[in-house]
């Protein structure tokens, strides 16, 4: 146990925290925008898996990681588009549609992967050269802080930058405010002539793109390969983070880092063979999320029309 | 309730839209050209329409999957025939399909009951795990019980644990108004890690590095129907449960209340139904059914809990089954057997045609998407001609 509290172990935990938080943060800020338009996209897990796969596929075929990211965005957008068609146009129950696309995403990625790479039962998994970390000049020289925050992947910096941008978009731009109005009161927006469906499409597809990029972080920056269980519940954690953060971008950042920290700590505990129930740390994000739902209920910022499909002329 | 359709559109067309919202460009209005084809909401959706729509959706699924298989370079006929052979081709595989369908029927019923009441219990997976934990808990607590009594006690334990785990979400819902979709999803993970903790701690079998319990004593095994198949009494329990659910929903006041809160919660409460009690009750029934599925798998097949226990996602598949079956108990049995056949046949298909067994998940996903869309689509009909005000009178055709 004394060994556990050494400088290198603790620094390692913080570096890992930021890495683990990255895909969660990217997917969660995307989901925040989608949910702001009143559409709960439960298919994050499947969308991230598709993104991780299409990203890997394109990177592996073209040899370019950046094209891989484009592929991941396209894969996520495709599933987001399907989600938008089902919920905004056809008005299928959002929960059910999300679960359906989740299955489709997981199964589709797995099937596609097996069809492309599993010819004749080859054992060797294909890999791509991963993204290198990018050290920010000067800032990365700061002891400890530099290593934790300023020697990370491009996607990590992107994720952090997206937090204030998402806030500004949702609270300070006309389009973002209209989006949030739709999430709260679509009928009023309809009367004011704000096109509901087009905005919901934009928001949900954007959420899909972000989830795809979050998945690609795992396949292109972390693993350098794809395997069917690569997302391993992170899509659901990202959903939890949006709730934990009470639909606010800044608290989503806090939530991502907190949940990332718990995961990093439990990994480190296991690696060091410290005899503590690491499962508690893994379960804690979900328990905290339920607690947040209960304690935030009086000041909840949940979009009021979330999961309620809007039919004109009906109540 | 939602007759709006025709009469209100007629009002708009006549320009007498006193207070009604202006037209936008959503799909419905775009299709409503004065003389062209237009979508019109049916005033009444007959059950047969829903059945036809579901069958059509499944047929389209088959065509799409056939195209996908063609894309991979295999003849769809070969793929489907090997899939069928593996699922129902001979006595052995047909019985094995029933084995696989057993937990799916129960988790499918669990989802169907809750969804009928408008309670979105996405926690079937967690309640399934809770049921397995309850089974082993009773086994662990009462080692001295004679076998028949012990089996009954374990089944009750499974149902109770499943119900308790569902009740956590339902109490949060009625007490604090927390969204049950979100809480049940979260609780799935919590119990998963709780099981993992049990398996690597108090329940871990001695003399093994694996996260698993001791193998249970043979007198706890559910009896099998035949010598040459794994088909166990769990299947009968599942069928009885389906009959029970059907009877409860159709013939008891409790079932009536469940359906009432599912149709219109506010109206139900005006009628004097205590909606909070009904929500807790329906979640408990739902959780108990999922819990029984866990007991069946444990006592009929695996006889020990290991870390792979939850990996088949029985609870999640149950949700898909319930939805494809349009929440009908008999439909749940049929769809569960069909889905089990897919899973069972996929191995055969992979061996003889080389198509990845993961195709099954794609089939499930596509089928669900199309069935959902079809369910909405059959609420509308396509008509030609101008909108007339007098059309509001028609309801049957």
pLDDT in tens, A206-237: 999 999 999 999 999 988 889 888 998 899 99
Looking at every residue in chain A, the average pLDDT score rounds to 90
Distance CA B148, CA B146 (A): 6
Q: How far apart are CA B61 and CA A121, in angstroms?
A: 28
Helix, strand, or coil here: A92? coil
Whether B320 and B269 map to the same domain: the answer is: yes
| ipTM of the prediction | 0.88
Rounded to 5°, the CA angle A306-B24-B387 comes to 115
Average the pLDDT over A297-302 and give the result: 86
Say yes or no: B98 and B29 in one domain: no
Same domain, B112 and B190: yes
- Cβ–Cβ gap A97/B376 under 8 Å: no
Q: Are residues B34 and B83 in the same domain?
A: no
Domain count, chain B: 2
Share of chain A above pLDDT 70, in %: 96
In angstroms, rounded to a whole number, what is the distance separating the alpha carbons of residues B360 and B35?
A: 44
**A200, A86 Cβ separation under 8 angstroms:** no
Whether A250 maps to a domain, the answer reads: yes
Is the pLDDT score of A140 beyond 90?
A: no
Which residue from A minimizes the CA distance to B318? Answer: A99
Q: Is residue A101 predicted with pLDDT exceeding 50?
A: yes
Chain A: residue nearest B115 by CA? Answer: A96
Instruction: Indicate whether A82 pLDDT > 50.
Output: yes
CA distance B8 to A293: 39
Counting as low any pLDDT under 70, the low residues of chain B are 1-38, 384-397
CATH number at residue B117: 1.10.3470
Q: Confidence band (pLDDT; 50, 70, 90) for A248? A: very high
Number of domain units in chain A: 1
Q: A287 contacts in B (CB within 8 Å)?
A: 186, 190
Q: Is residue B51 part of a domain?
A: no
For the cut 50, the answer to whether the pLDDT of residue A155 exceeds it is: yes
Question: What pLDDT sits at residue B36?
Answer: 65
| Main-chain dihedrals φ then ψ at residue B305, nearest 5 degrees | -95, 130
Residue range of the domain that includes A51: 12-298
Task: Tell if the CB–CB gap between A196 and B26 is shorter than 8 Å.
Answer: yes
More confident residue, B233 or A141: B233
Q: What is the pLDDT of residue B378?
A: 84
Contacts of B183 in chain A (CB under 8 A): 290, 293
Task: State whether B365 and A293 contact (CB < 8 Å).
Answer: no
Helix (H, G, I), strand (E, B) or coil at A59: helix
Domain annotation covers residue B63:
no
Task: Give which of A51, A26, A68 is closest to A152, Cα–Cα.
Answer: A26
The pLDDT, as a whole number, for residue B20 is 44
Domain carrying residue B171 = 75-354
Mark whether B91 and B171 lie in a shared domain.
Answer: yes
Q: What is the pLDDT of residue B30?
A: 55
Q: What is the pLDDT of residue B7?
A: 42
Residue B24 lies in a domain: yes
CB-CB: which of B2, B186, B359 is closest to A289? B186
Q: In 10 A of CB B47, how many CB atoms? A: 9
Question: In A, which residues are within 8 Å of B20 by CB distance?
Answer: 313
What tens digit of pLDDT does each residue of B310-333 get? 788 899 899 999 998 989 999 999
Q: Is residue A170 part of a domain?
A: yes
* One domain for residues B95 and B38: no
Q: What is the pLDDT of residues B102-157, one digit of tens each?
A: 999 999 999 999 999 999 999 999 999 999 999 999 999 988 888 889 999 999 99
Choosing among B369, B373, B379, which should be mutated to test the A contact, i.e. which has the most A CBs within 10 A? B369
A309 domain residue, yes or no? no
Which residues in chain B have Cβ-Cβ distances shorter than 8 Å to A28? none
Q: Which residue from A101, A110, A195 is facing B24, i.e. has the nearest CB?
A: A195
Chains A–B, number of C-beta pairs less than 8 Å apart: 157
Do B217 and B331 share a domain, yes or no?
yes
Asked if B361 and A111 come within 8 Å (Cβ–Cβ), the reply is yes
């Amino acid at each position: 146990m004394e060994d556990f509290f050494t400088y290198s172990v603790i620094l390692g935990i913080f570096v890992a925290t930021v890495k683990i938080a990255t895909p969660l943060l990217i997917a969660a800020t995307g989901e925040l925008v989608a949910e702001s338009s009143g559409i709960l996209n439960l298919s994050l897990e499947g969308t991230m898996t598709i993104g991780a796969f299409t990203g890997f596929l394109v990177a592996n075929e073209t040899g370019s990681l950046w094209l891989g990211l484009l592929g991941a965005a396209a894969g996520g957008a495709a599933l987001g588009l399907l989600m938008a068609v089902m919920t905004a146009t056809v008005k299928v129950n959002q929960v059910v549609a999300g679960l359906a696309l989740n299955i489709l995403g997981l199964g589709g990625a797995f099937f596609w992967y097996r069809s492309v790479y599993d010819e004749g039962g080859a054992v060797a998994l294909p890999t791509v050269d991963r993204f290198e970390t990018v050290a920010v000049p000067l800032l990365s020289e700061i002891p400890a802080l530099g290593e934790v925050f300023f020697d990370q992947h491009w996607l990590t910096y992107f994720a952090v930058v997206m937090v204030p941008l998402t806030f500004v978009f949702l609270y300070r731009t006309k389009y973002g405010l209209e989006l949030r109005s739709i999430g709260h009161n679509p009928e009023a927006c309809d009367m004011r002539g704000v096109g509901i469906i087009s905005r919901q499409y934009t928001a949900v597809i954007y959420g899909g793109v972000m989830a795809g990029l979050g998945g690609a972080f795992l396949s292109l920056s972390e693993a350098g390969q794809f395997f069917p269980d690569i997302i391993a519940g992170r899509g659901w954690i990202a959903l939890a983070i949006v709730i934990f953060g009470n639909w606010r971008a800044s608290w989503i950042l806090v939530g991502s880092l907190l949940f990332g920290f718990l995961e990093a700590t439990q990994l480190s505990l296991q690696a060091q063979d410290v005899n503590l129930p690491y499962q508690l740390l893994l379960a804690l994000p979900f328990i905290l999320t339920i607690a947040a739902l209960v304690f935030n209920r009086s000041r909840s910022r949940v979009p009021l029309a979330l999961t309620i499909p809007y039919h004109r002329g009906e109540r | 309730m939602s007759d709006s359709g025709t009469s209100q559109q007629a009002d708009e067309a006549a320009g007498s839209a006193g207070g009604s919202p202006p037209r936008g460009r959503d799909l419905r209005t775009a299709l409503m050209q004065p003389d062209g084809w237009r979508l019109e909401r049916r005033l009444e959706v007959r059950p047969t329409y829903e059945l036809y729509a579901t069958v059509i959706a499944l047929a389209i699924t088959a065509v799409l999957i056939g195209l996908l298989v063609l894309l991979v370079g295999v003849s769809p006929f070969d793929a489907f025939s090997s899939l069928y052979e593996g699922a129902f081709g001979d006595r052995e595989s047909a019985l094995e399909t029933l084995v696989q369908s057993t937990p799916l029927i129960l988790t499918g019923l669990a989802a169907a009951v809750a969804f009928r009441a408008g309670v979105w219990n996405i926690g079937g997976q967690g309640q399934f795990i809770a049921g397995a934990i309850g089974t082993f808990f009773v086994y662990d607590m009462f080692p001295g019980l004679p076998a028949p009594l012990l089996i009954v006690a374990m089944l009750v334990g499974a149902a109770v644990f499943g119900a308790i785990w569902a009740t956590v979400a339902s109490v949060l819902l009625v007490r604090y108004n927390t969204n049950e979709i979100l809480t049940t999803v979260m609780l799935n993970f919590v119990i998963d890690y709780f099981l993992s903790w049990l398996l690597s701690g108090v329940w871990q079998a001695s003399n093994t590095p694996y996260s698993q319990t001791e193998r249970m004593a043979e007198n706890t095994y559910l009896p099998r129907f035949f010598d040459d198949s794994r088909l166990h009494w769990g299947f009968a329990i599942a069928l009885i449960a389906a009959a029970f659910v059907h009877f409860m929903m159709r013939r008891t006041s409790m079932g009536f209340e469940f359906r009432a809160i599912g149709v219109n919660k506010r109206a139900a409460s005006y009628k004097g139904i205590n909606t909070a009690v009904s929500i807790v009750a329906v979640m408990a029934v739902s959780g108990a059914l999922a819990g029984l599925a866990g007991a069946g798998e444990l006592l009929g097949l695996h006889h020990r809990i290991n870390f792979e226990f939850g990996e088949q996602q029985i609870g999640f598949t149950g949700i898909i089954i319930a939805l494809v079956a349009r929440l009908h108990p008999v439909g749940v049995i049929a769809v569960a057997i069909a889905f089990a056949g897919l899973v069972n046949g996929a191995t055969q298909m992979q061996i003889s045609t080389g198509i990845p067994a993961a195709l099954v998940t794609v089939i499930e996903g596509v089928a669900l998407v199309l069935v959902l869309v079809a369910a909405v689509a059959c609420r509308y009909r396509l008509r030609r001609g101008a909108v007339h005000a007098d059309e509001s009178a028609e309801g049957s055709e």
